[in-house]
Amino acid sequence: MKQGIIQQSLSGFYDILADGEIYRTRARGNFRAKKIKPIVGDRVEFENGYLLRVLPRKNELVRPPVANVDTAVVVTAAKKPTFSTNLLDRQLIALEAQKITPIIYFSKTDLLGDDEYSKLEKVVAGYRKIGYRVFFSREAFAPEQLKELLRGQIVTMMGQTGAGKSTLLNHLAPGLDLATGEISTALKRGRHTTRKVSLLNVAGAWIADTPGFSSYETFDMTVEELPNLFLEMKSLARECKFRGCLHLKEPQCAVKDAVKNGIIMESRYDNYVQFHNLIANQKPDYGKNRK
């Protein structure tokens, strides 16, 4: 019995990458009975042309349907569209919730004037201080460093339309020669009329066939879980007077003190408060966990 990763799913067939080769398989009938649907990125066991078992997933995305994503490159335009810390933080906490490692890539930094660039550098310094890896498109070495970080990993790229995902992919793999907005076309080349999902090998990384996912549009976490998705708050929480401190109105809160003292970025805290209020005011979805 072999183990591998589902590289492509098409019309009931599963192409599995194992030992550097692709094996085409079909799933055993008992998958449907057990309500298990194998998806791209699944680590599986197979033998004699049949997929036998799906191993436990560490995460699962809906759009695109991909499992076991290791890293997400958050492509963030420094200008056109206007940079928003709110949108960036929404994406970062969505990734933290899924246990996906984020890499922030600021595109279009060449459009910034000197003053704008200086302001961005301060923002970047703040995110790097938290522990995030951040790259600039202006840095000539950035694509090469990214290649090394992404090599051998299952990757999704996310960001607003026009943020520069195609441009970044061209830097990573110049042979793709993408025009702006052509990521989806390139990553689905040769697609059939039946929906195909696949991982494309780009500079040694396996990149999901659509340019990201939209779970950052909703907040599925509780108000108690939210502080742990802000890494700098999570590390300071043990210093708060009250266990389970939500860092809002509680006295002797280490997080609020850190904001006042410039240790935590004010924009991060403001976004945290906004997200907390959004979650607290959400109507419960009683059908969410129904089968």
Residue set of the binding site for Zn(2+) = 240, 245, 247, 253
Distance CA 50, CA 246 (A): 50
Are the CB atoms for 229 and 96 separated by under 8 Å?
A: yes
A 10 A CB-CB count for 284 gives 6
Distance CA 197, CA 207 (A): 11
Specify binding-site residues for GTP. Answer: 107-110, 159-167
- Pairing label, strands 154-158, 205-208: parallel
Helices (H), 190-265: 231-236, 254-260
β strands within the chain, DSSP E: 2-10, 13-18, 21-27, 43-47, 50-54, 71-77, 101-107, 133-136, 154-158, 197-202, 205-208
Distance CA 15, CA 8 (A): 5
Specify binding-site residues. Answer: 107-110, 159-167, 240, 245, 247, 253
Q: Could you tell me the two tokens for 23?
A: 């094996």
* Total residue count of the chain as it appears in this document: 291
Under 8 Å CB-to-CB from 55, ≥6 apart: which residues?
3, 42, 43, 44, 45
Are the CB atoms for 167 and 181 separated by under 8 Å?
A: no
Under 8 Å CB-to-CB from 122, ≥6 apart: which residues?
none
